[in-house]
Amino acid sequence: MTIVPTLKKDYIYKLAGQGKRIDGRAFDEYRPIVIEPGIIRKAEGSARVKIGNTQVVTGIKMDVGEPYPDTPESGVITTSAELIPMASPDFEAGPPQEDAIELARVVDRGIRESEVIKLEELCIEPGEKIWIIFIDIHVIDYDGNLFDCASLASLAALYTTMVPAEKFDLGDDYPLPMRDEPPISCTAAKFNDAVVFDPILDEEEIAEARLTVATDVNGDIRAMQKGLSGGFTVEEVKKVIKGAVVNGREIREKLWDSVKKAKEEKGE
């Protein structure tokens, strides 16, 4: 474990007390976001997203399989995340630990509960054959805020995914049926009574508590996850939700722009 010098923590706290952050951003400001869909040719869908220096690549693979017994006419999603050793000196090789599992499950819930993928259109033969979507999140550079980066990479990948029907003799390939209103996940961290959005690594390392909120186009809340062992006041939670709605809107636009551009380049 890399030890954070107490001095650094004190300095970040001091700045927070003056309404400042270690990298000069405002409390509700995100780092530059770069979204690049379609970078992996072997995958049915993919995207690389950078938020500041944090970098995540998500790949979508699809296969034909059996439906779950209680949803015989619905496609299936399965999400996994890997915090690979190259992303941080503190990540170890091996099966996913609780951080990777939490990341996968939070991203999965955000996508599943919002029903942004039209799973009901992914039935091939009721009760027998449906499409399975594998969402694989590959974290390659960790500088804070994996939840938002992984979520965004997964959405950008899904919106540019082509169902590989030809491969299974089920007709021509077609775009994965998606709803147009993705909830966007926004994460805030709390330290020394300051609540900041898009925490950079230095801030995450000293954060007492973390809150991720996914909001939709109407400003409604679609998913929430509180992390770390500190606490939030009710007021702080409300502030985070408001900030998540505002930032969510901006990020959703960026997502649309990049997806549109990727589709144009492919000639769809």
Q: Which of 27, 266, 57, 241 is nearest to 156 (CA)?
A: 57
CB-wise, 40 or 122, nearer to other proteins?
A: 40
Part of the chain binding other proteins (CB under 8 A), chosen from 80-88, 116-124, 222-230, 247-255 = 80-88
- Letter string b/e over residues 68-99, b meaning 16 or more CB atoms within 10 A of that residue's CB: eeeeeebbbbebbbbbbeebeeebeeeeeeee
161 binds other proteins (CB under 8 A): no
**Beta-carbon count within 10 A of 195 CB:** 23
Which of 40, 62, 55 has its CA nearest to residue 117? 62
Query: Is there binding between residue 17 and other proteins (CB under 8 A)?
Result: no
DSSP 165: G
d(CA 262, CA 268) in angstroms, rounded, equals 9
Report 84-143 residues binding other proteins (CB under 8 A): 84-89, 93, 95-96, 134, 136, 138, 140-143
**Least distance from C-beta 202 to other proteins, angstroms?**
10
At closest approach, how far in Å is the CB of 14 from other proteins?
A: 9
d(CA 226, CA 102): 11
Query: Quick one: 26 or 86, whose CB is closer to other proteins?
Result: 86
**In angstroms, what is the minimal distance from the CB of 68 to other proteins?**
19
- Asked if 256 is part of the footprint of other proteins (rule: CB under 8 A), the reply reads no
CB under 8 A: which stretch of 12-20, 183-191, 208-216, 230-238 binds other proteins?
12-20
- Is 135 or 244 the residue whose CB approaches other proteins more closely? 135
Please, which residue, 24 or 267, has the CB nearer to other proteins?
A: 24
- Residue 45's nearest CA partner among 267, 263, 264 is 263
Rule CB under 8 A: say whether 13 interacts with other proteins: no
- Do the beta carbons of residue 247 and residue 186 sit within 8 Å? yes
Please report how close the Cβ of residue 126 comes to other proteins at its closest, in angstroms. 24
**Which of 32, 41, 69, 267 is the binder for other proteins (CB under 8 A)?**
41
In contact, 262 and 161? CB cutoff 8 Å: no
Residues in the chain: 268
As given in the structure block, the two tokens for residue 171 are 């007709």
Q: Which residues bind other proteins (CB under 8 A)?
A: 2-11, 15, 18, 20, 24, 39-43, 46, 53, 55, 57-61, 63, 80, 82, 84-89, 93, 95-96, 134, 136, 138, 140-143
